[in-house]
Amino acid sequence: MSMEKRKWWRNCFGYRDEKWPEDAEVDAIDKLEDKLGKLDDDTVEIRNLIGRIELCHHKAERHVELIIRAIGEGKTLKKPGSRPVGEIHPREALTELVIGSLTAWVNEEHFDVPPFGIGGISVEDLFNFIGESTPLKVWQVRQVCAKLRSFLDPEFRYYEMVDYPDRYEEKAHYRGATINTVITDKVGGEVVKLTLASAIDHLQPCNWNFPSNLIVVLRAIGGDLNPENPFASHARNLALSPAYPRFKYVVDDLKAYLVGERLTSTIYTILGSKTPVKEWLVASLEKTLRLQLGI
């Protein structure tokens, strides 16, 4: 059997899926929502934040903390991702540096190296990962730059090589070579295959493992298909994230809150006494975390 997904669960299942296998826990949580009747704006906003949380984000711990505080307060005092207009986030600055250095490689230009390197990596190392220039490598590096640009510019659309072959008809031979380049990767300690095209398509500067992921991609472009560290994206290799143990503790505390165990943890103090709205929001957050963690 399958069920229609509610918008709240869009970050828990494939975003292109219209349906997914029935989940009794999701059903039960949705019934809690139905009992609440019309939701006020603050409650809707908090549930939307839960529906946008991504544990692969490098600031996911902070985002979860803000959501828990919002549930306790009954409103969002500070939203994840909010910052003063015009302020550049360090990840955006890092991404611009990566694009600048890779563009310099494509154009065979000099690139001024920041004192701290690029995410701890020297520009020389980035160039050495790629190796000598070839038309295929130039095209692949431009694809990397395009993917990263889509992170900086919401109006710029990057079309995934794996999902949109029609967008690459004029460069089908380059796309084909990129798809046929297979990286020997690991997931959960098990050896798996990862195409270079898929790695580029899933290269996200906001990912907790971005610098390492970038190295995997650039080394593969250069011909090294046996990375030292696994490639991580979304739920892939999320268990390797330094925050993973903390997320599991949060899940345990939220579960205990739902069943009425009085804890001495900070989470219980923040959430306060249980109400029907809090029960639904906490249950939604706890289930979302478990689904993304694969627990």
Whether 1 maps to a domain, the answer reads no
φ, ψ of residue 89 to 5 degrees: the values are -70, 145
Task: Count up the domains in the chain and report the number.
Answer: 2
Q: Print pLDDT tens along the chain (295 aa).
A: 344 568 889 898 765 555 566 789 999 999 999 999 999 999 999 999 999 999 999 999 999 999 999 999 999 876 655 555 455 678 898 999 999 999 999 998 877 766 666 777 888 888 999 999 999 999 999 999 999 999 999 999 999 999 999 999 999 999 999 999 999 999 999 999 999 999 999 999 999 999 999 999 999 999 999 999 999 999 999 999 999 999 999 999 999 999 987 666 788 889 999 999 999 999 999 999 999 998 7
Whether 97 maps to a domain, the answer reads yes
Residue 284 contacts residue 292 (beta carbons within 8 Å): no
Residues 221 and 99 in one domain: yes
Residues 53 and 104 in one domain: no
Q: Decide which of 223, 238, 253 is a domain's last residue.
A: 238
List the domain range (segments joined by +) for residue 264. Answer: 27-82+243-293
Residues 182 and 282 in one domain: no
Residues 261 and 224 in one domain: no
pLDDT at 293: 93
Residues 128 and 34 in one domain: no
Scan for tokens 């899926």, then name that residue. 17
Whether 7 maps to a domain, the answer reads no
Residues 152 and 250 in one domain: no
- For residues 244 and 20, what is the distance between their CA atoms, to the nearest angstrom? 25
pLDDT at 264: 64
Residue 242 contacts residue 58 (beta carbons within 8 Å): no
Q: How far is CA 218 from CA 199, 236, 251, 252, in A?
A: 10, 19, 36, 39
pLDDT at 183: 98
pLDDT at 3: 47
CA nearest neighbour of 152 among 91, 209, 103: 91
pLDDT at 258: 93
User: Residue type for 262, please?
Assistant: R
Residues 117 and 232 in one domain: yes
Residue 151 contacts residue 98 (beta carbons within 8 Å): no
Alpha helices in the chain (DSSP H): 24-36, 41-50, 60-73, 90-107, 123-130, 135-152, 172-179, 196-201, 210-221, 244-258, 266-271, 276-293
Q: What angle do CA 59, 119, 222 make, to 5 degrees?
A: 120
- For residues 105 and 132, what is the distance between their CA atoms, to the nearest angstrom? 10
Residues 209 and 268 in one domain: no
Whether 34 maps to a domain, the answer reads yes
Residue 207 contacts residue 58 (beta carbons within 8 Å): yes
pLDDT at 86: 54
- For residues 257 and 252, what is the distance between their CA atoms, to the nearest angstrom? 9
Judged on CB neighbours under 10 Å (0-12, 13-18, 19+), 100 is: middle
Residues 76 and 170 in one domain: no
Residues 264 and 161 in one domain: no
